[in-house]
Structure 1
Amino acid sequence: MLLPNKCSIREVNKDCVNPPKYVITVVSNNDEFMLGITCEKHKTSVSSKIGSLQNDGKIPKGRIKFENLKSVQTDCIRGDPDDLIQL
């Protein structure tokens, strides 16, 4: 799966330019729903926003999970050293 090369948060009509650090998911009733990616700077604000959306019934209630992104290279997926610098 390919992910964007920057945080998915938008503030004051501007996209965040920071590289992503976490995949954001919600774990609910043994299902896990991916919501997006975020950088370290926006982790707290994303958590608050998701909690608010859960209370409004727009996102399933459950545990918010932030999983560290990591680079993976296999025989089928070859990494470029320049890509690793961005992570």
Structure 2
Amino acid sequence: MLLPESCSVKVDGVECRLPPAHVVSVQSKDGEYMLAVVCDDHIAGLKGRLRVLQKEGKMPLGKIRFQPVIAVVTDCVTGIEEDYVEIELKRGVDSERKA
């Protein structure tokens, strides 16, 4: 899943520029819904705000979950010459490389 590059919280109308550290969702009887992403600096404030929104009926009732963001990096094939050579050498097969 592709996440926003920065925290979802705004303070006095100014967007937080810190990277997200947690995915925020609510588990209700109908399913689980992602609400936001939040940095470590704003997690406590968002927890309180979400509880208030649930009490006011502006957000589904259910368990509020904060799951840590885990970065996954892959060594993907991008189609450059080195990728084709590596595939041919490691797998022992001919590639569709343009000579």
**TM-score band, normalised by shorter chain:** 0.7 to 0.9
| Structure with greater Cα Rg | 2
Q: Which has the higher contact order (CA 8 A, sep 6+)?
A: 1
Counterpart secondary structure, 1:41: helix
1:51 alignment counterpart: 51
Unaligned runs of 5+ in 1: 79-87
State the aligned residue count.
78
Deviation readout 1:16-70 (Å, 9 max, x if unpaired): 0111000000111161110010001100110111101101111111111000001
TM-score, scaled relative to structure 1 = 0.80
User: Which residue number in structure 1 is paired with residue 4 of structure 2?
Assistant: 4
2:41 counterpart residue number: 41
Aligned to 1:63: 63
Name stretches of at least 5 consecutive residues in structure 2 with no aligned partner. 79-99
Q: Say which structure is richer in helix.
A: 2
Structure 2 Cα separation of the partners of residues 44 and 63 of structure 1: 16
Runs of 4+ residues deviating >2 angstroms = 73-78
Identity, % of aligned pairs?
37
Instruction: Give me the TM-score of the superposition, normalised by structure 2.
Output: 0.71
